[in-house]
Amino acid sequence: MTVKVLIGAQWGDEGKGKITDLLSNEADVVVRYQGGNNAGHTIVVEGEVFKLHMIPSGILYENVECVIGNGVVVSPAVLIGEIDKLKTKGYSVNNLKISNTAHVILPFHEMMDKQQESSRSEGTKIGTTSRGIGPAYTDKVSRRGVRVKDLLVKETLETLINGRNWTEILDVTQADVDKVIADYYAYGQIIKPYIIDSVNYLHEQYAQKKRILLEGAQGTMLDVDFGTYPFVTSSNPTAGGACTGSGLGPTMIREVIGVAKAYITRVGEGPFPTELTNETGEMLRTKGGEFGTTTGRPRRCGWLDGVILKYSVNVNSLTSLAITKLDILSGFKEIKICTAYEINGKKIDYLPTDAKELSLVKPIYQTFAGWEEDLTGIREYSALPANCKKYIKEIENIAGIPANIISIGNSRDKTIYRYV
């Protein structure tokens, strides 16, 4: 009877897809609890690359039930496309389940997202993924959203979609609106076999002592409450979101695993204290292949930020870490970790939660000697280069929790397990 939560400890793209896929081997149920197709989770199995935007990263295990939880915003077209792609690759997808109360992203939400972004002036742009995430969640909290179950009742769907005067707020005609209603009703019919009452289902699974893994999307620093607001997403990727986005309560959760890259990246706008806009940053981007899974945008790169890591441990109650992409750091002469910030001549060791203040801090670094060895063939912790072990040890010291998983390549096998 274990419930584990896996979250991104930074600004997303930490390698949650890979680690969720690994942990799915020891799970009965995997649940996405927030976000939508702004997420891009990559899994590599025997050279084949899977990029999942809507479907939980446990889907490649036929005996693992995969649930899109109530806290997710669903793009039916993207979801159906993903189901079809997986089927083409030989996966049945019979293990997929979709919450009846998850909210639905409409094409109008996407249009609004793009329109809002283009009307923002320089310095206030968020750099969203333009997938309609913000507007869809806005409609949810405004209590006028369309839920997955509404796709199944034509009259309800018509009433909800027509209730929004889209023709007045967007450059669309009533014929466009009617087409969306027809398309979405048709999507509903396609996904109908997967739709369930996820809250009751998850409680049944829990009662039957099933092992449940809750998979976060985005990351702590993109959380609408705990991230660099307003340069954030519109949901709660942090551990609290796992409860509200699934219906499982906080005392059921036994472990919270934070996935952290061995350095740090960010896509989109907003403060980033350890960003490297020099050759070193370029080297991290090139070696790490740091281009967005969803939008293809170059990711901003920088040294690991220990202040953010500690903050992430705190706001998520992290119990252990999975450190990813350590292999990318081979060949750097020096590697740095930010251990504190300086602001107005004062040293601080906590994260200012105000984005403006965070944009003014200067990182204070601890420097480590690098290593030359290629790590991708190593499977035992003891075989890692001494300097690499020192680096991991310091990350554990800062976080105050063990790094139980060390990832040294994108595929399943390139992983070192510790303390297990």
The residues binding Mg ion (CB under 5 A) are: 13, 40, 293
Choice between 48 and 354, CB closer to ligand GDP: 48
Site for ligand IMO in 60-119 (CB under 6 A): none
β-pair partners for 282: none
Closest CA to 219 of 73, 99, 83, 318: 318
Q: How far is the CB of 233 from Mg ion (least distance, A)?
A: 12
Contacts of residue 379, Cβ cutoff 8 Å, sequence gap at least 6: 416
Q: Distance from CA of residue 208 to its chain's centroid?
A: 28
Integer CA distances (angstroms), 90 to 48, 49, 62, 93, 198, in order: 12, 14, 11, 9, 26
The entry of ligand IMO, ligand GDP, Mg ion, none near residue 268 (CB within 5 to 8 angstroms by kind) is ligand IMO
Query: For the window 287-316, what string marks contact with ligand IMO as x by the rule CB under 6 A?
Result: ------x-----------------------
Choice between 57 and 246, CB closer to Mg ion: 57
Q: Which stretch binds ligand IMO (CB under 6 A): 36-44, 138-146, 281-289, 398-406?
A: 36-44
Choice between 147 and 414, CB closer to ligand GDP: 414
Q: How far is the CB of 260 from ligand GDP (least distance, A)?
A: 10
- Please state whether beta strands 403-407 and 415-417 pair in parallel, antiparallel, or not at all (unpaired): antiparallel
Set 21, 41, 139, 150: catalytic member: 41
Choice between 129 and 238, CB closer to ligand IMO: 129
Q: How far is the CB of 402 from Mg ion (least distance, A)?
A: 25
Choice between 42 and 236, CB closer to Mg ion: 42
- The answer to whether residue 220 forms part of the interface with ligand IMO (CB under 6 A) is no
The entry of ligand IMO, Mg ion, ligand GDP, none near residue 327 (CB within 5 to 8 angstroms by kind) is ligand GDP
Choice between 205 and 220, CB closer to ligand GDP: 220
In which residue are the tokens 């030989």 written? Answer: 90
Alpha helices in 194-326 (DSSP H): 198-207, 239-244, 279-288, 306-316
Q: What CA–CA distance (Å, rounded) separates 132 from 1? A: 36
Q: What CA–CA distance (Å, rounded) separates 342 from 365? A: 11
Closest CA to 306 of 394, 386, 408: 394
Query: For the window 125-144, what string marks contact with ligand IMO as x by the rule CB under 6 A?
Result: -xxxx-x-xx----------
3-state secondary structure of 241: helix
E strand or H helix at 391 = helix 386-399
Active site includes 109? no
Active site includes 13? yes
- The answer to whether residue 13 forms part of the interface with ligand IMO (CB under 6 A) is yes
> Are the CB atoms for 260 and 226 separated by under 8 Å?
no
Q: By CB under 6 A, how many residues form the interface with ligand IMO?
A: 23
Q: What CA–CA distance (Å, rounded) separates 2 from 111? A: 41
| Six-digit token string for 114 | 């793009």
The entry of ligand GDP, ligand IMO, Mg ion, none near residue 410 (CB within 5 to 8 angstroms by kind) is ligand GDP
Residues that bind ligand GDP (CB under 6 A): 8, 12-18, 40-42, 44, 293, 324-325, 327-328, 407-410
| Six-digit token string for 206 | 């829990």
Site for ligand IMO in 198-217 (CB under 6 A): 217
- The answer to whether residue 221 forms part of the interface with ligand IMO (CB under 6 A) is no
Choice between 218 and 274, CB closer to ligand IMO: 218
- The residue sitting closest to ligand IMO, measured at its beta carbon, is 268
Provide the terminal-to-terminal Cα distance of the chain, rounded to the nearest Å: 18
The entry of ligand IMO, Mg ion, ligand GDP, none near residue 129 (CB within 5 to 8 angstroms by kind) is ligand IMO
* Residue-wise DSSP of 157-216: HHHHHHTT-HHHHSS--HHHHHHHHHHHHHHHHHHGGGEE-HHHHHHHHHHTT--EEEE-
β-pair partners for 342: 347, 362
* Residue-wise DSSP of 337-350: EEEEEEETTEEE-S
Q: Which stretch binds ligand IMO (CB under 6 A): 39-47, 156-164, 311-319, 392-400?
A: 39-47
Q: How many CA atoms lie within 13 A of 45 on its CB side?
A: 14
Among 136, 221, 222, 395, binds ligand IMO (CB under 6 A): 222
Choice between 111 and 378, CB closer to ligand GDP: 378
Residues annotated as catalytic (active site), given as ranges: 13, 41
Q: What residues line the site for ligand IMO (CB under 6 A)?
A: 8, 12-13, 38-41, 126-129, 131, 133-134, 217-219, 222, 233-234, 267-268, 293
